[in-house]
Amino acid sequence: MTPQQMATEALTAMQAGSRMTLVRTRGTKPPSGFPRGELLCENFDGRNVYSYDPARVISWLNAYCLIAIEVMPANKN
């Protein structure tokens, strides 16, 4: 998954008011500083499913300069 795809999924989860789910193979460590997720299940094929706070994922992506976030000013009519 690319950083842009991860950001898109995180934003979609934020808009829906839910957490995002990511799958990692057992034994692999997340990158340095990556938010801690909640383990949802361990699959028999060696994959683990984790739930993450999408706002923390977006913050991590932005902090490591993997995505650029632009804040647009509100349009006042």
pLDDT tens track for 16-40: 999 999 999 988 898 899 999 999 9
Q: At what angle do helices 54-63 and 3-16 cross, to 10 degrees?
A: 150
* Contact between residue 31 and residue 6 where contact means Cβ atoms under 8 Å apart: no
By the 10 Å C-beta count (0-12 exposed, 13-18 middle, 19+ buried), 10 is classed as: buried
Residue 41 has pLDDT above 80, yes or no: yes
Instruction: Work out the average pLDDT over 45-57.
Output: 95
Q: What is the pTM assigned to this prediction?
A: 0.81
Burial string for 45-70 (b: 16+ CB within 10 Å, else e) reads eeebebebbbeebbebbeeeeebeee
